[in-house]
């Protein structure tokens, strides 16, 4: 019996709009350090590589040096503040729940593979009411491997009971596309996430602008790549 088909989603910028809470937390840290805030509309491209990278990028944007030891201290403070405000402004993108319902009815399973730390990823998905939809929720600390290393995607798929041959990645950035490509699985990219270039330039197999387009993109890819 073949494993069930699996969709593996990125989280920030793919399933959920989280920029407000993430950049809000970054600006909380910057203000505490007497550093000017970053503008939300200009800082979206900083997201996607995890909290440490976001802190580093925030300091770099304001041309303030940041020692590694201080980064580690600020990382803990960032997580504490962020988890306390995990979904003040965050929300699922339109059509996510309806898409999950349709795919689930057709026999698909779901997983999340994010560069968030696992605990806040689970907390966010719980706050948004969808944590129970995913057979695996994997963060960059779950296996101590961040994307774009394909091993984290491979282990996410295994944890969810799937196989790469019957899995498709859904993401919003170069990191997600590269991770999927390195594992040799198809990738659908949303064009409303966190990237400094349009995702169509990064070589995904399909690009969607709304989750109501996911069904046609995924089913066509599944037909093309069926073993």
Continuous segment of H or E residues that includes residue 168: strand 167-171
Mean pLDDT of the chain: 92
Pick from 53, 48, 52: nearest CA to 19: 48
Structure-block tokens of residue 136 = 């695996």
Per-residue confidence band for 224, with pLDDT thresholds at 50, 70 and 90: confident
| Residues labelled catalytic | 10
Read off the pLDDT of residues 118-166 as tens digits, 9 standing for 90 and up. Answer: 999 999 999 999 999 999 999 999 999 999 999 999 999 999 999 999 9
> Range with the lowest mean pLDDT among 45-54, 95-104, 152-161?
45-54
- Ordered domains of the chain (ranges, CATH): 5-17+91-225 (3.40.50.1000), 19-84 (1.10.150.240)
Q: What is the pLDDT of residues 56-91, one digit of tens each?
A: 988 888 888 888 888 989 999 999 999 999 999 999
Q: Which of 9, 46, 44, 52 lies closest to 141, judged by CA?
A: 52
- pLDDT above 80 for 182: yes
Rounded to two decimals, what is the model's pTM? 0.92
Are the C-beta atoms of residues 129 and 138 closer than 8 Å to each other? no
């Amino acid at each position: 019996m073949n494993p069930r088909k699996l969709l593996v989603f990125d989280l920030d910028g793919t399933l959920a709009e989280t920029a407000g809470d993430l950049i809000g937390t970054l600006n909380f840290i910057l203000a505490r350090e007497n550093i000017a805030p970053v503008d939300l509309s200009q800082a979206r491209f900083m997201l996607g590589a995890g909290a440490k990278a976001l802190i580093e990028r925030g300091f770099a944007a304001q041309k303030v040096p940041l020692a590694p030891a201080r980064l580690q201290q600020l990382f803990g403070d960032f997580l504490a503040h962020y988890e306390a405000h995990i979904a003040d402004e965050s929300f699922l993108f339109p059509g996510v729940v309806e898409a999950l319902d349709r795919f689930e009815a057709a026999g698909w399973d779901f997983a999340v593979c994010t560069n968030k730390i696992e605990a806040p990823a689970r907390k966010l998905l719980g706050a948004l009411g969808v944590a129970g939809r995913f057979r695996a929720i994997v963060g960059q600390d779950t296996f101590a491997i961040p994307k774009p290393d394909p091993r984290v995607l491979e282990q996410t798929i295994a944890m969810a009971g799937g196989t790469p041959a019957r899995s498709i990645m859904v993401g919003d950035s170069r990191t997600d596309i590269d991770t999927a490509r390195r594992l040799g699985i198809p990738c659908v990219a949303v064009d409303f996430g966190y990237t400094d270039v349009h995702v169509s330039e990064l070589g995904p197999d399909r690009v969607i602008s709304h989750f109501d387009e996911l069904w046609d993109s995924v089913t066509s890819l599944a037909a093309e790549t069926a073993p």
